């Protein structure tokens, strides 16, 4: 019996492709350049890895699509409503990325606060000739105030870690989370108060119409001058022009971004010239174990969708 056919947005590394190969026949995204016809009609699944938009017009070209399986938790690139309207199931990988993304949040916060990247460059440079106690004074993480925006699964993991650093933890979320307050000792805060008080502001929200541009000029100006902004969520949550102004004019002390808008930033983007910015290339969930967990979950969603069974992790349009 022939295997169901799926489209893959960007080529997968071998160890990930091996998880899919027994279950489906994989076609490249470039297939969509072909005119409508039997091959496109035969596509039953989409596996997204590289964040390509999966929305209306594309879905119209694949009339027999059953499932969109996303390798990752954030499905901001998938029009879930349009899929639901066509009876197409959408799957993601919650849980697989929570701990690692929270680890990355802490790593970026510490890196920005303690000049890890600048310090590394300096320690390798000819300029480092002798120990100097006035070198690169940083900010203290322990005992300071952390503001977590988005108290979902990742936000909670960040809070758990921050408790080990004796931080006071404020959080802002669409809904107050009394259980998290009780379990993690976090304090609910209006966004304005959080921005005004936090030494570190961590963005842990999904990208939605509500969170796009959430941190712009007004919010950055409201932050403390010694504050650091950490974004492991999605680039468009932060306005990049406003962030550049904030960092170069000293409205805030620093930022650490694992995600940007656009991503990657153009090589001549002014943010790339700033020393008070730590930047990583979307490594939030980049550990080998987490990649494998994500691959297994994404495969299970894909296979279930191809069999017209309920997905183990199905995304639903809110409301
Ligand atoms: C993934 C992520 O690596 O899970 C997510 O939402 O942002 C990342 O951890 C990415 O989505 C893979 O394409």
User: Is the peptide bond prior to 262 cis by the omega test (within 30 degrees of 0)?
Assistant: yes
Q: Do 98-279 and 5-96+289-306 have the same topology in CATH? A: yes
Looking at 63-164, which runs of residues are DSSP E strands? 67-70, 89-91, 145-149
φ, ψ dihedrals at 141, nearest 5°: -90, -50
3-state secondary structure of 229: strand
Q: Which of 51, 74, 75 to mutate to test the pocket of ligand 1 (most atoms within 8 A of CB)?
A: 74
Burial pattern 44-82, b for ≥16 Cβ within 10 A else e, equals bbbbbbebbebeeebbebbeebbbbbbbbbbbbbbbbeb
pTM of the prediction? 0.95
Query: For residue 254, what pLDDT is reported?
Result: 98
For the Cβ of 150 lying below 6 angstroms from any atom of ligand 1, the answer is: no
Q: How many CB atoms lie within 10 A of CB 123?
A: 11
Report helix, strand or coil for 30: helix
- What are the φ/ψ torsions at residue 38 (nearest 5 degrees)? -60, -40
Condensed to tens digits (0 to 9), the pLDDT of residues 230-262 reads 999 999 999 999 999 999 999 999 999 999 999
Map 248-276 to HEC letters: HCCCCCEEEECCCCCCCCCCCCHHHHCCC
Size of the chain in residues: 319
- Which residues, in sequence order, are bridge partners of residue 201? 147, 229
Locate the ligand 1 atom nearest the alpha carbon of residue 291 and give its number.
Answer: 3
Q: What is the best residue among 76, 97, 263 to mutate for testing ligand 1's pocket, by most ligand atoms within 8 Å of CB?
A: 97
The b/e string for 243-259 (b: 16+ C-beta within 10 A; e otherwise) is bbbbbeeebbbbbbbbb
Does ligand 1 come within 6 angstroms of the Cβ of 284? yes
Strand partners, 277: 255
Give CATH superfamily name and number for 5-96+289-306.
Answer: NAD(P)-binding Rossmann-like Domain (3.40.50.720)
Residue ranges of the chain with per-residue pLDDT less than 70: 319
pLDDT for 170? 98
Q: Rounded mean pLDDT of the chain?
A: 96
Evaluate: CB of 51 within 6 angstroms of ligand 1: yes
Class of domain 98-279: alpha beta
Give residue limits of the domains in the chain.
5-96+289-306, 98-279
Q: Which two structure tokens, joined as six digits, stand for 287?
A: 């550990």
Does residue 282 have an active-site annotation?
A: yes
Question: Which of these is catalytic: 51, 156, 234, 293?
Answer: 234
Query: What's the rounded Cα separation, in Å, for the pair 131 and 157?
Result: 37
* Contact criterion met (CB below 8 Å) for 251 and 221: yes
| Among 300, 229, 287, residue whose Cα is nearest residue 259 | 229
Predicted local distance difference test score (pLDDT) of residue 319: 66
């Amino acid at each position: 019996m022939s295997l169901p056919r799926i489209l893959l947005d960007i080529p997968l590394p071998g160890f990930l492709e091996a998880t899919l190969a027994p279950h489906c026949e994989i076609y490249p995204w470039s297939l969509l350049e072909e005119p409508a016809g039997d091959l496109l009609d035969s596509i039953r699944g989409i596996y997204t890895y590289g964040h390509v938009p999966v929305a209306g017009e594309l879905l119209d070209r694949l009339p027999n699509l059953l499932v969109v399986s996303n390798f990752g938790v954030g499905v901001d690139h998938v029009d879930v409503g349009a899929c639901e309207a066509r009876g197409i199931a959408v799957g993601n990988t919650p849980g697989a990325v929570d701990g690692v993304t929270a680890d990355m949040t802490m790593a970026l916060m510490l890196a920005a606060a303690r000049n890890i990247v600048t310090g590394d460059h300096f320690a390798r440079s000819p300029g480092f000739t002798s120990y100097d106690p006035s070198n690169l004074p940083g900010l203290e993480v322990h005992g300071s105030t952390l503001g977590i925006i988005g108290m979902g699964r990742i936000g909670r993991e960040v809070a758990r870690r921050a408790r080990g650093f004796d931080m006071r933890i404020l959080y802002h979320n669409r809904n107050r989370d009394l259980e998290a307050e009780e379990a993690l000792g976090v304090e609910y805060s209006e966004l304005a108060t959080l921005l005004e008080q936090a030494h570190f502001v961590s963005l842990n929200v999904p990208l939605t119409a509500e969170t796009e541009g959430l941190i712009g000029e007004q919010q950055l100006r409201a932050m403390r001058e010694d504050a650091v902004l950490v974004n492991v969520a999605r680039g468009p949550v932060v306005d990049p022009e406003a962030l550049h102004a904030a960092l170069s004019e000293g409205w805030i002390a620093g930022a650490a971004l694992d995600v940007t808008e656009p991503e990657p930033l153009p090589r001549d983007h002014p943010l790339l010239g700033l020393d008070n910015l730590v930047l990583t290339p979307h490594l939030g969930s980049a550990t080998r174990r987490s990649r494998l967990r994500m691959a297994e979950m994404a495969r299970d969603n894909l296979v279930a969708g191809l069999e017209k069974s309920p997905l183990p992790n199905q995304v639903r349009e809110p409301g």
